[in-house]
Amino acid sequence: MNISAGKPCAANFARALAAPVTLLAMVAAAVVSSPSMAAPQDARLDTATVTPVGAERKGNSAGTIPAWEPLTGVPAGLTGVIAGVHYPDPFAADKPIATITAANIEQYKDRLTAGQIALLKRGDAEKMLVYPTHRSCAYPDSSYKKTAENVGKAKLSADGNALSGAVGGFPFPFPENGWQTMWNHKTNFYGATRFRSTNSGFLVNPDGSFEPSRQIEEIIFPYHMDDKGGLDKYNFMTKVTTEAPARRKGNALLIHDPLDASTSQREGWIYLTALRRMLRGPDVRHDAPDPDSQGLLTIDQRNMFSDSLERYDWKIAGKAEKFVGYNGYKIVNVPPAERAKVVGKTRISPDYMRYELHRVWVIEATLKPGQRHIYPKRVFYMDEDSWYIVAADMYDAQGKLWRTSETQLVNFYDRPSCLPGMRVNYDLLDDKYYVELWSEKYEYDVPELNALTFSPDSLRRGQR
We report the CATH number of the domain holding residue 345 as: 2.50.20.10
pLDDT digits (tens, 9 = 90+) for 76-105: 999 999 999 999 999 999 999 999 999 999
Residue 60 lies in a domain: no
With H, G, I as helix, E, B as strand and everything else as coil, classify residue 219. Answer: strand
Residue 69 lies in a domain: no
Between the alpha carbon of residue 190 and those of residues 84, 130, 223, the distances in Å are 12, 27, 12
Helix residue spans in 19-61 (DSSP H): 25-28
Domain that includes residue 191, residue range: 141-462
Would you list the DSSP string of 374-406? S-SEEEEEEETTT--EEEEEEE-TTS-EEEEEE
Would you list the DSSP string of 284-353? GSTTPBPGGGTTSSBGGGTTS--S-STTEEEEEEEEEEEEEEBS-HHHHTS-GGGGGGGB-SSSB-GGG-
Report how far residue 35's alpha carbon sits from residue 22's, in angstroms, rounded to the nearest whole number: 25
Report how far residue 148's alpha carbon sits from residue 84's, in angstroms, rounded to the nearest whole number: 28
Residue 422 lies in a domain: yes
CB 62 within 8 A of CB 178: no
Residue 407 lies in a domain: yes
Between the alpha carbon of residue 95 and those of residues 91, 178, 420, the distances in Å are 9, 36, 22
Q: Which amino acid belongs to residue 322?
A: K
Q: What pLDDT score was predicted for residue 1?
A: 38
Residue 108 lies in a domain: no
Number of domains in the chain: 1
Residue 310 lies in a domain: yes
Q: What pLDDT score was predicted for residue 189?
A: 94
Classify residue 286 as left (phi > 0), alpha (psi -120 to 50) or beta.
left
Residue 22 lies in a domain: no
CB 401 within 8 A of CB 393: yes
Q: What pLDDT score was predicted for residue 29?
A: 41
What is this structure's pTM? 0.93
Residues of the chain short of pLDDT 50, as ranges, are: 1-8, 22-32, 39-43, 464
Q: What pLDDT score was predicted for residue 42?
A: 41
Residue 266 lies in a domain: yes
* End-to-end CA gap in the chain: 51
